[in-house]
Amino acid sequence: MSERITSVLNEERRFPPPERFREQARIGTWAEYQERYRRSLEEPDAFWGEVASELHWFEPWREVRRWNEPFVEWFVGGTTNLAYNALDRHVEAGRGNKVAYFFEGEPGDRRVLTYKDMLRETSRFANVLKAQGVEKGDRVAIYLPMIPEAVVAMLACARIGATHSVVFGGFSAQALGDRIADAEAKAVVTADGGFRRGAVLPLKPAVDEAIARTGDVVKTVIVVRRAENDVAMEPGRDVWYHEAARHASDVCPAEPLDAEHPSFILYTSGSTGTPKGVLHTTGGYQTYTYLTARTVFDLQENDVFWCTADVGWITGHSYVAYGPMLNGATQVMYEGAPTHPTPDRMWGMVERYGVNVFYTAPTAIRAFMKLGDEHPAKHDLSSLRLLGTVGEPINPEAWMWFRRVIGGDRCPIVDTWWQTETGGIMLTTLPGVHDAKPGAAGVPFFGVEPAIVDVEGNEVPDDEGGYLVMKRPWPSMLRTVYGDDDRYRNQYWSEIPHVYFAGDGARKDADGYHWIMGRVDDVVNVSGHRLGTMEIESALVAHEAVAEAAVVGRPDEVKGQGIVAFVTLEGARQGDDALREALRAHVASQIGGIAKPDAIHFAEALPKTRSGKIMRRLLRSVASGEDLTGDVSTLEDRTVVDKLLQGS
Ligand code: PRX
């Protein structure tokens, strides 16, 4: 972390909010954003106190914020309950018959759950947890497909004060076992299986294997019947949810919980070592996800909101399970693969449910783009009024496609930057206020004070690359790494003094927009210039032959690092030396000779995690001709790497 980061992406297009959108937006003027932002920094206690007061508290807080670097508490002394705020509050206000979820399973089964239904199901689930011996403060691992019971189980934990640790259903038994062991989960909630790409993905055998690795930590396993595949049940430990639920009451009062009560642990990978258990609490988390969901997605009373994330990721926690529910929103939830049984599955659902706000990941957008415009074209997407992206930098090419083909050139796009650790959206545009710039994540949300700094913590001038940090704590900030305060301090608060270090490189332009350049370890250093790999990838993807690109560095005696690109091609295009040369020349013309890849590998597919992030660490090994060492348990499809190795 010593050299300067050089930013090379040159993108000048901007798209103001359409007049019609602005007129009815929750925040529709720059002056209002500016005034509220100013107040959130100058009078944070008053600002956040007012937002929190829109939710229900059993006991009021005595102090809004207590900061003892690097540990923060919000709403000190207050007691509240996330599930009460997400469910009871709406039912009591007469919105019990409003739809909470339109659910579709992959095979086509459909369920509609109202807020009243969700309250009843959550209460019943909470009573089953209690009957199985789960108490306030216990940890519960949730390993389920993307079905309503996943959200119900999370809310049931929140209702009784158990801390959930959701483990993505695509993770292996080993990954699950590691997480169960680290959190010392007393109970596991799982299903027989789920549906994925037309097949049953069994879950229960992975739970059995995970438990076999973790000794006698787990006392009870609650199994939801979903795919009706055969499973082995261990007497005395395993119970079928539908059987236990038969004897359970559907009334369960919400437990008043301290504002700092741990609501969940979510494991995320760092650049080194074992996954970190990111710990979130209650009062600050609910306040921040409530306000961000409402403001960034401009949620209106009759909107249908669809965030495509699985609850196994933070996006599914904050913008499927909690933020929208805290707002009483109507959502779409889908279990399976986005292209099953046909490539237009998602667009058919947008049409069927009249989705108004659609939030997804750049990797999905690039995949849809590759499939072709004819699939969205089969459906009426005119209900859409706002689009959003999250999870990685979006290359302007994919952004423009999303805007034109999905958004019909009429929907604003919010590019939201945040992390598992931040709990909620930190940098974004507000859709009724700010012009959108393709590839830029926008400006700080209320209460967020970012800076771009050098390694000593000095702010760098506008348009110069540096490290993205946060200068003050926000309500949904992680509180620690579960069971490891030192790791928390070292990882986030030591590298650069007195600020939260996000691990990303970024630059801020003269309008205050943040252009994320990727993780610091995704930055290559060529002849003393640090180049964001994303920017080179954007240039490659802008070439008409290229569908997706990943760029990594490899050691180079002269330049420090050379650039290696892995490229998948559009349609049936085949890669050859002529195309290689054309792409190198293309990057050189887009960015400059310095960014020209030294090598280009054509690949059928890129290795990705199950959440869709390209595994650059693996590509770096392939590019450098090293052995593949380290953890590949998060890899979606192992054969992708084998093919790359054969081809390299
Ligand atoms: O590098 C940034 C990238 O994803 C990282 C956080 O990953 P995770 O904890 O898995 O959370 C993803 C969902 C919130 C960040 O450090 N990232 C996330 N959103 C964006 C992004 N990079 C660029 N633009 C974004 N909008």
Report how far ligand 1's centroid is from the alpha carbon of 389 (Å). Answer: 10
Determine which residue's CA is closest to atom 13 belonging to ligand 1: 391
What are the distances in angstroms from CA 401 to CA 345, 514, 563?
Answer: 18, 21, 27
Q: What is the CA radius of gyration of the chain?
A: 24
- Tell which atom from ligand 1 comes closest to the C-alpha of 393: 23
- Apex CA 145: angle with CA 141 and CA 150, to 5°? 55
Report how far ligand 1's centroid is from the alpha carbon of 376 (Å). Answer: 26
Q: Which residue from 591, 594, 601 is spatially nearest to 621, judged by alpha carbons?
A: 601
**5-6 and 529-532 beta bridge pairing:** parallel
How far, in Å, CA of 361 to CA of 367, rounded? Answer: 10
Q: Does ligand 1 lie within 6 Å of residue 117's CB atom?
A: no
Q: Which domains does the chain have, with CATH numbers?
A: 19-81+270-519 (3.40.50.12780), 82-255 (3.40.50.12780), 523-647 (3.30.300.30)
Helices (H), 317-393: 323-326, 345-353, 362-371, 374-377
Task: Specify the amino acid at residue 28.
Answer: G
**199-202 and 193-196 beta bridge pairing:** antiparallel
Q: Does ligand 1 lie within 6 Å of residue 432's CB atom?
A: no
Q: Is 594 exposed, middle or buried (0-12, 13-18, 19+ CB in 10 A)?
A: middle
Report how far ligand 1's centroid is from the alpha carbon of 636 (Å). Answer: 19
pLDDT score, position 366 = 87
How far, in Å, CA of 306 to CA of 324, rounded? Answer: 10
pLDDT digits (tens, 9 = 90+) for 118-129: 999 999 999 999
Q: Does ligand 1 lie within 6 Å of residue 390's CB atom?
A: yes
Report how far ligand 1's centroid is from the alpha carbon of 81 (Å). Answer: 28
Beta partners for residue 306, in sequence order: 358
Most confident of 418-427, 519-528, 625-634: 418-427
* SS3 labels along 193-219: EEEECCEEEECHHHHHHHHHHCCCCCC
Q: Which residue from 220, 212, 232, 206 is spatially nearest to 144, judged by alpha carbons?
A: 206
What are the distances in angstroms from CA 373 to CA 347, 369, 381, 404?
Answer: 11, 7, 13, 10
Query: Of 85-94, 184-193, 365-374, where does mean pLDDT reach its minimum?
Result: 365-374
Report how far ligand 1's centroid is from the alpha carbon of 508 (Å). Answer: 17
Q: Does ligand 1 lie within 6 Å of residue 161's CB atom?
A: no
- Tell which atom from ligand 1 comes closest to the C-alpha of 519: 1
How far, in Å, CA of 394 to CA of 415, rounded? Answer: 8
Report how far ligand 1's centroid is from the alpha carbon of 269 (Å). Answer: 12
Name the average pLDDT for the chain. 92
Q: Which residue has the tokens 């965030």?
A: 307
What are the distances in angstroms from CA 522 to CA 254, 295, 619, 628?
Answer: 44, 31, 11, 18
Q: Does ligand 1 lie within 6 Å of residue 419's CB atom?
A: yes
Given CA atoms 601, 602, 608, 611 in this order, what sign does their dihedral have?
positive
Most confident of 72-86, 391-405, 489-503: 72-86
Q: Does ligand 1 lie within 6 Å of residue 315's CB atom?
A: yes
Report how far ligand 1's centroid is from the alpha carbon of 403 (Å). Answer: 20
Q: How many helices (H) and strands (E) does the chain have?
A: 22, 34
Q: Say whether pLDDT at 271 is over 60.
A: no
How far, in Å, CA of 326 to CA of 318, rounded? Answer: 10
Tokens of 489: 């301090």
Report how far ligand 1's centroid is from the alpha carbon of 338 (Å). Answer: 21
Residues 221-245, mean pLDDT to the nearest whole number: 98
Report how far ligand 1's centroid is from the alpha carbon of 517 (Å). Answer: 11
Determine which residue's CA is closest to atom 22 belonging to ligand 1: 392
Strands of 57-59's sheet, edge to edge?
A: 57-59, 79-80, 257-258
Residues 581-598, mean pLDDT to the nearest whole number: 87
**193-196 and 139-143 beta bridge pairing:** unpaired
Q: Does ligand 1 lie within 6 Å of residue 516's CB atom?
A: yes
Report how far ligand 1's centroid is from the alpha carbon of 521 (Å). Answer: 14
pLDDT digits (tens, 9 = 90+) for 430-479: 999 999 999 999 999 999 999 999 989 999 999 999 999 999 999 999 99
Q: Does ligand 1 lie within 6 Å of residue 121's CB atom?
A: no
Are 376 and 344 contacting, i.e. CB atoms less than 8 angstroms apart?
A: yes
Q: Does ligand 1 lie within 6 Å of residue 310's CB atom?
A: no
What are the distances in angstroms from CA 147 to CA 27, 209, 311, 477?
Answer: 33, 23, 9, 28
Name the DSSP class of 88: I
Q: Does ligand 1 lie within 6 Å of residue 441's CB atom?
A: yes
Q: Say whether pLDDT at 556 is over 50.
A: yes
Report how far ligand 1's centroid is from the alpha carbon of 469 (Å). Answer: 14
Q: Which residue from 323, 568, 559, 504 is spatially nearest to 425, judged by alpha carbons?
A: 323
How far, in Å, CA of 321 to CA of 339, rounded? Answer: 23
Report residue 527's pLDDT band, with 50, 70 and 90 as the boundaries: low
Q: Does ligand 1 lie within 6 Å of residue 399's CB atom?
A: no
How far, in Å, CA of 324 to CA of 310, rounded? Answer: 14
Determine which residue's CA is closest to atom 6 belonging to ligand 1: 419
Determine which residue's CA is closest to atom 11 belonging to ligand 1: 419
- Tell which atom from ligand 1 comes closest to the C-alpha of 389: 26
How far, in Å, CA of 263 to CA of 86, rounded? Answer: 14
Report how far ligand 1's centroid is from the alpha carbon of 137 (Å). Answer: 29
Beta partners for residue 200, in sequence order: 195
pLDDT digits (tens, 9 = 90+) for 110-150: 999 999 999 999 999 999 999 999 999 999 999 999 999 99
Q: Does ligand 1 lie within 6 Å of residue 616's CB atom?
A: no
Tokens of 168: 């993505």
pTM (predicted TM-score): 0.87
